[in-house]
Amino acid sequence: MPKPVRISLDAMGGDHGPSIVIPGAALALERHPDIRFLMFGDEAVVGPLLNNHPKLKEATELRHTDIAISMDEKPSQAIRMGRGKSSMWRAVQAVRDGEADACVSAGNTGALMATAKICLKTMAHIERPAIAAMWPTMRGESIVLDVGATIGADAGHLVDMAIMGAAMARIVFDLERPTVGLLNVGTEEIKGIEAVKEAGRILREMNMPNIDYRGFVEGDDIGKGTVDVVVTEGFAGNIALKTAEGTAKQIGQYLRSAMSRTLMAKLGYLLAKQAFDALKDKMDPRKVNGGVFLGLEGVVVKSHGGTDDLGFASAIDVAYDMAHFELMNTIRSMLEHDPVEQPA
């Protein structure tokens, strides 16, 4: 029998808390019967919901805590209030203590990152963690990082992220040598800020056997899927992510409006419904939900706070893959092979 993958869940996190976490976990268990959950939350609220899912209840250990971090809590306040007590803290702590292989939370991003950094610490050779997101593209999917963990980045940090993103791509896409690009304002080597140009130089000279560095990429290359991994600092990455999400909603609204404008348009929609359904499925953000915190001594996955059960199950799927295929060992191996020397 294969060893079960143990995942700790912050049952109280997110906009909807246990009402989404429980059915999402039940759906993930159907996909991965070898998951075992360690769930942290208010027993009076979570318990009755678990009773509605007998298979999930059998695969879950529920540990009571009635302290939850709100979505608008400042990270410093969240740490003071919930240190050692909140459902978020205890879910991350379970990874630190070896009780879980990965943690999933839909809670406050800033609070989760602060908690994870304190509980798990950063990996050797890594100065700052990053959040890596799956991104639907014209070619399939790519990984984009950082999408909001930290603002600003020097060359060393960008190279760190390139290595970590490539390690994740090797697992997610089953690639021996993922392609990597640095997000820039142009593809020419003379363009961009010094940190990006210096990171490009370092990556070219490192010539790592398990990274195919393709140079600079531009914003439109993200959607094209020009490379498997797009690297940028958190300010630009978060803006790119929110812009893409907003554009997808905008296009959807345009289509709905256009298709309902006239009788002929409605007829055209009915005739092309299969194509529109395929488009809707392709653009469904729930299927790529789950940002991975890279650079920490443990696997933590952040689910979108407003997602539904399908989206939360997708975040658990990501955590399962990262744990099952040993993301941490892959990153350590790549970092040990070519540790990044910070510029003087």
pLDDT tens, residue by residue, 38-81: 999 999 999 999 999 999 999 999 999 988 998 888 888 888 87
* Residue 239 in tokens: 């803006």
Domains of the chain: 1-126+295-344 (3.40.718.10), 131-286 (3.40.718.10)
pTM: 0.86
Q: How far apart are CA 85 and CA 91, in angstroms?
A: 10
Given a cut of 60, is residue 340 above it in pLDDT?
no
CA 17, 23, 29, 32 dihedral sign is negative
Which tens digit of pLDDT belongs to each residue from 241-262? 888 878 777 877 877 787 777 8
Q: How many Å separate Cα 101 from the centre of its chain?
A: 16
Q: How far apart are CA 166 and CA 238, in angstroms?
A: 19
Q: How far apart are CA 246 and CA 243, in angstroms?
A: 5
Computed over every residue of the chain, the mean pLDDT equals 88
